[in-house]
Amino acid sequence: MRKLLWVSLLALLLQASCIQANHSDDSTEEHRDAQDDTTKETPKETSAETDETEQPPKREKTTEIEEEQGIMVLHINNFDRALSETRHLMVEFYAPWCGYCRRFEPIYAEAAGMLKEEGSEMRLAKVDAIEEKELAEEFNVDSFPTVKLFMNGDRKEPIEYTGKRTPSGIVQWLKRRSGPGAADLNSADSAAEFINTHNVSVVGFFDNLESEAAAVFKEVAFDLTDVEFAVTASPEVFKEYEVTANKVVLFKKFDDGRADFELSEEDKLDKHNLTNFIKENSLELIVPFNQETSDKIFTSRVRLHCLLFINSTVESQMSLLEESKTVAREFKGKVLYILIDMTTAVSHVLNYFGVLEKDSPTVRMINMDTQKKFKIEVVDDTAEPYLRSEEIPEDWDKGPVKVLVAKNFETVAMDPTKNVFVEFYAPWCGHCKELAPIWEQLGEIYADHDDIIIAKMDATANEVESVAIDGFPTLKYFPAGDKEVISYTGNRDLETLSKFLDNGGVLPQEESDEDDDDEDEADKDKAQTDEREDADNQSKVCSAASLFSPSLELDSLFFLYLRGQTILQRNQQTTHPKMSFDNSSN
What one-character-per-residue DSSP string does 95-116 give? -TT-HHHHHHHHHHHHHHHHHH
Task: Identify the bridge partners of residue 205 per DSSP, sorted by sequence position.
Answer: 232, 247
- pLDDT of 4: 59
Rounded Cα distance between 39 and 104, Å, is 13
Rounded Cα distance between 579 and 95, Å, is 13
Q: Which of 18, 98, 306, 542 is catalytic?
A: 98
Could you please report the per-residue DSSP string of 55-83?
Answer: PPPPPPP-S--EEETTEEEE-TTTHHHHH
Q: Is 101 labeled as catalytic in the residue annotation?
A: yes
The torsion angles phi and psi of 24, rounded to 5 degrees, stand at: -70, -25
- pLDDT of 345: 83
Q: How many CB atoms lie within 10 A of CB 160?
A: 14
**Domains located in the chain, CATH noted:** 66-174 (3.40.30.10), 180-282 (3.40.30.10), 287-385 (3.40.30.10), 402-503 (3.40.30.10)
The torsion angles phi and psi of 299, rounded to 5 degrees, stand at: -100, 5
Apex CA 196: angle with CA 178 and CA 291, to 5°?
70
- pLDDT of 157: 93
Q: Judge contact between 581 and 100, C-beta under 8 A.
A: yes
Q: Is 306 labeled as catalytic in the residue annotation?
A: no
- pLDDT of 44: 43
Pairing relationship of beta strands 402-404 and 146-151 according to DSSP bridges: unpaired
The torsion angles phi and psi of 379, rounded to 5 degrees, stand at: -130, 115
pLDDT tens for the chain, 586 residues long, are 555 555 565 555 555 444 444 444 443 333 333 333 333 444 444 444 444 445 556 667 888 999 999 999 999 999 999 999 999 999 999 999 988 899 999 999 999 999 999 999 999 999 999 999 999 999 999 899 999 999 999 999 999 998 888 899 899 999 999 888 999 999 999 999 999 999 999 999 999 999 999 999 999 999 999 899 999 999 999 999 999 999 999 999 999 999 999 998 888 899 999 999 999 999 999 999 988 888 888 888 898 999 999 999 998 888 888 888 888 998 988 999 999 999 888 887 887 787 888 888 888 888 888 777 676 554 444 455 667 788 999 999 999 999 999 999 999 999 999 999 999 999 888 889 999 999 999 999 999 999 999 999 998 888 888 888 878 999 999 999 878 999 999 999 999 999 999 999 998 876 544 444 444 444 434 334 344 444 444 444 554 433 333 333 333 334 433 333 333 333 333 323 333 333 333 3
Q: Is 542 labeled as catalytic in the residue annotation?
A: no
- Shortest CA distance to 426 belongs to which of 460, 468, 395, 466? 460
For the chain, the farthest-separated pair of C-alpha atoms sits apart, in whole angstroms, at 85
Q: Is 18 labeled as catalytic in the residue annotation?
A: no
3-state helix, strand, coil in the chain (%, to 5): 40, 20, 40
What are the Cα distances from residue 54, in Å, to 50, 57, 101, 363, 397? 9, 10, 21, 60, 49
What DSSP element (H or E) covers 151? strand 146-151
Could you tell me where the beta strands, DSSP code E, fall in 194-299?
200-205, 228-232, 247-252, 258-262, 286-288
Q: Which of 18, 306, 432, 542 is catalytic?
A: 432
Q: Which of 18, 306, 429, 542 is catalytic?
A: 429
pTM greater than 0.85: no
- pLDDT of 355: 84
